[in-house]
Structure 1
Amino acid sequence: MYWKTLRGTRIGGPWALLGICVALMIIMLAAYRLDRLLYASYLQEVRSTTYSELLEVRESFESVLHSQSLVLRELSTFIGENPDISQKEFSARVSSIRGVEDIVRSIAAAPDMIITLVHPLEGNRGALGLDYRTNSEQYPTVKRMFMTGKEMITGPVNLAQGGSGLILRAPVYLPKLEVSSDDIADEAEQQFWGVASLVLDYQKFLAKAGFTKAEERYDLFIDISGQSPDDEGTFVYGKQALLGDDTVKLQFDFEFENWVLHATTKGGWPETYPDRWMQRTIITAAALTLMLTFIYVLWLSEKRKQAEALLNRGVGALSDGFVMFDEHDRLIMSNEKYREIYGFPESLLKPGTHLRQFLNAGLELQSKSHGHARETDWMKHRLASFDSTVPAENEQYLLDGRVIKVSDHQLENGSYVGLRVDITELVQAKKAAEAANDAKTDFMGLLSHELRTPLTVILGVARIIQNARLMPASKKLLAVHDDEKASSAETLGLANEVFDQLSSMMDRLIKSGEHLLFLVNEMLDVAKVESGSMVVEPTQCAVADIVEPVIDQLRTLSHEKGLEFEVLQDAGTVFADVVRSRQILFNLIGNAIKFTEVGFVRLKIRSEEGMVIFIVQDSGPGIPEEDLKNIFEIFYQVDSTATRRAGGTGMGLAIAQSLANLQNGSLTVSSTVGVGSCFKLSLPEAI
């Protein structure tokens, strides 16, 4: 399962696998060391227990030997004072000595190295007459004792009276002899009498000293310093092989020799500790738990990295600027869009960069537009917006004309996030919508005026004609008709006057109707343009078929205003819709005549790179530069007052450009205020 998890979360990479292997080795080594520590702890506990228990054995051993050594010393002193002691006196003296243990088999005395005194006599007669000098087993110890003058212990030895025993021997000396001299101080010398010995039953001694019971649990060996395996007649106990082992050592408190007790548990120290399998199972379980925990931590770390990477990719994919600071005002993360908005260098957008560095960089931009006098106020305002718990939203106007919406929100832990949205297009669209709405309002006002004017004329003329009898000329005609004296010539003249007046009113009616029809057609064309239902039918035709009808209609108008109307034609045929092309030229030339008070209106036609170019120039007031980009928009008017004064709705240019585009052509404008304007219509040349 964990391997699938590793593969699924992509933590099976080389470094992760190396980390897992290293962790596994460390855990295995730690588990092994823990197992060895448990064994060492148990072994130390066993050694401590062994030492404690053998302390009692050593104390008991020393106690028995010391007590019997005192008995032997007391007897040696008595014999030294009574060298000619008899068997009876010897037995009586031995019986009177206090402290003789029940493990003592016999006590003997050997004047001149030959045993002649023994107690009890019964059972020990076999020892009488033993000459130490001829006993190869016991003589080396006796000889060493004689040379050192100290007590010696021998054992186990085969006793002459049978069995084995532990023999304590002490040298017996006669009292010191005094030597008199006038020149030399008193001197004393001791005379060797013999040997006093005390025989302990070997097995009973071991039992009383605790060795027999200790041997059930321990391997024991008593090492005597200076003793070699070949020495005869010395004390030997235990397994000499223990000398090469790591044993527990206890020092005996003997004056005559340096004894050391060596001990191990039976068969040697234990190679393992109790419940080792249970302990190893626990260690293994703990190691597995640690390993799985380590893998889980790696998994969490990888998931965290994946989440961070996903977050970074998501933040980087945002079309808006994103920035996040911690509670200490240090950068956590940001995206590329944030850097692009403000033009910050990449070195500034490193995690850990303080907020003030960003504000200082932004301050350089602000100071260019507001001046250094407002730097402090601007810095305070920005810091306050970040410290506030209330979400802050405002707009920043950058030097390049962009408008940035700033939204800063503080989080619960004191950190905060910020969004930077470029709303330049939205602001421009809003302004354009407001301008369009204003233009539409002006247009509706103008349109209502333009519609009311012809309708008023039509209705007025219609009412007059409806009441034609009330006209002055009609009244005169009727009066003459009733007068019998009136001549026919007079009557005919009055009738013609009535007809002329009616004809004049009908002319006004027709012009108003045509103007009203023109307005309706313009509105219909606008509706078709907005809905995309405007249809053109381009055909191959002569340029003159398009231009001449327009010139014929508008030349009279230009002459009435005293304008010079010039036409320069240098093109043959064009592939265009004749009617719609005339409509475009009629609008362009008509506008030039309407808005030009003095000077000229010129139409130039030429062929250029497969296109026929119609150029309409005038010497009118010109169009301001800020209005040139909007002049072809529906409902847009450069000056509604001038439009109303000159006549028209202001929809013509929008319709004209749409008609040009539908014919795979174009309509552009250039203008200089006070000099005039130039409109350029391009239509495909006929092949």
Structure 2
Amino acid sequence: MEMLVNPADPPERQVEKLKIIAAVLMRRVEQITDDSGAAYAQFQRAAMLEDQVRERTRDLERALDLLNESNAQLAEANRQTEAARRNLAHAIETIEEGFALFDASDVLVMCNSRFGMHINDVRPYLKPGLGFGDYVRLVSRSPFLELPAGESAEDWAVARQRRHQDRHVMFNVAMVWDRWVQVSEHRTGDGGTVILQTDVTELVRLERIERGKMLDDQARVIRATLDHIGQGVCIFDAGARLVGWNQRLGELLAIPMARFRIGTGFDHVLDRFRPDFRFGAGMTGGRLGDWVAGDAKAALRFELRRDAGMILDVFADGMPDGGFVMSFTDVTSERVAVEALSRANETLEARVMARTLELEDALGDAERANASRTRFVAAASHDLLQPLSAAKLFLASIGDEGLTGAARGALDKAQNALVSVEGILAALLDISKLESGKVAVSVGAVRLDRLLSQLSDEFGAIASAKGLELRVVASGAVVASDAAYLRRILQNLIGNAIRYTDRGRVLVGVRRAGPMLRIEVCDTGPGIPEEEQDNIFKEFHRLNARASASEGLGLGLAIVERACALLGHPLGLASVMGRGTRFMVQVPRYGGGAVEERVAEAAPQGGMEGRIVFLVENDAELRRAMGLLLEKWGVSVLEAQSGEVALELLEELGILPDCFLVDQDLGGGMDGLGFIAAMRGRHGDVPARLVTALRGEPFEARCRAAGIEVMAKPLDARALQGFVAGLRIVT
């Protein structure tokens, strides 16, 4: 240490050297420690590995012991299996029938030496592993197989494969040298197939001999009949012994040939029913046995169902000699069709129900849309009638003085246009009311002579102006109808006939039709094509013409159809192209007793100068138009915009006007009916008219109950003039 540190060095130098020495020594110590630790770890791992190798060796020894034990058990099982296989082979070899077992994949598992009897060329191929299809192909080509007349080997193979699809199969195969083999197939629980082949040559030959002895000419006819019907038939004597059957019976019941022998008891046949068949509802094996044993055998019908899905309809009936006959009919296809039809009906009912619900929803939507449209048309028409009334009255207030010819013509055209618009709005209102289904009709006695006379006067001038003859045949009959709607129906029919007839005449008359009367409107127009006879009753539909206000918008016949439906009056149409059209409306005769005569009382018409008319109207423009027109006629006009103001003005003036013209919808707390009632309560029964665009039976009933007459908007200047001048028609 003294050699490494020089005492003569300064202390700082000595400390520095000591630090270096310490660091070197520490590294050396750490290195020595790491080497010894690694060696110990390797030793420890070696010890653990030795333990694991020892444990694995013991596991392998145990596994080897188990393997040896399993091999011993497997060898014992193989010995047992081989013994069982030998026993099974010996067992199937001892049976008289040919036996073969095919697995679920239709591969041959085993067979005995008698399988494939009488087909010597096929037997060398009958070894495990042979497919069923190959087996059928070999048999079909064998020269030892007696093919049916007209059937090829391929046809026989296809038919054999088809029979193989059934769960239980039984049929006979003809061999050369008049030998017969009965083949039966049965399914195993795992889907395999067991095939049994029985030599029935002796049975067939014996049956031929016995049948030949028993059959005479009549029996041959019966046998031929039985063999050619689609039903399986078997006949039993009074002792319930089998005396006859047909081939179809064996096919339907899959009964072995050995059981079809003359004299076989019914019990043996009944045993065949039990394993593969199920009786239908109401029938059991015991009940069938009791029926067979009974003396009186009434007709019996029941069903049998095979596992393969076949359904047989069985009919049994007694014979005079105490025996009985049973017939079996395959009704599988009919039952399947019935079930399919039932399912189709259920599906159809579900679809109809779903469609019905959809239609109900659609109908509800349509009814709501129709109600909304009806309200809109009514509201829009009401709002349009206000300015229309004002426009008509303004035009009526223009005098002829100072007007040029062109101005007079323009004024007439404007008036005609307003009249057309008025007609259109009235038609729209009628359509909306009729479609809403809320129109109330008042059916009573209607005299046709008065109605037809008015229509003749109304349309006579129009027909003459067009060069047509309008002939209305008078009738004194009385019918049960609504006078207003019946008049509207005939107005539209007559107006339509005149509009579409260019030359000739229009005839209106009444014919008897049993307990009904038929009002006919005939014209000599161009006729209506058959394909258009339904369309003409649609709104806005006109033949060979454009819809216009001057020529009509095609609403008349739509109103006619709906009004006739509302009143329950059948509507008919007959037309010949180039010769004319006849519309027919059937109405019932009135049977309510005597009809009260109603006469028109006309007050003398005088001048209107000096008359005082009180206008109560909240629409300023309409009030101003009516005022101008009345003042043109020399009438003094008082005005008020509400009922309250009008009552106050009457109290202030102290005079009573000659009449009142009152709007129903005054826009305040008092409507027109309320004002007239209040005014008459104070001043007595002063003449008054309610001026309104409102329509409908409820409102008209209120007016009738109050004894107030209505002047409908748009106002007609002539009707207004007649009222003010004192004309009053009492109907």
**TM-score in terms of structure 1 length:** 0.30
Q: Which has the higher contact order (CA 8 A, sep 6+)?
A: 1
CA radius of gyration, larger in: 1
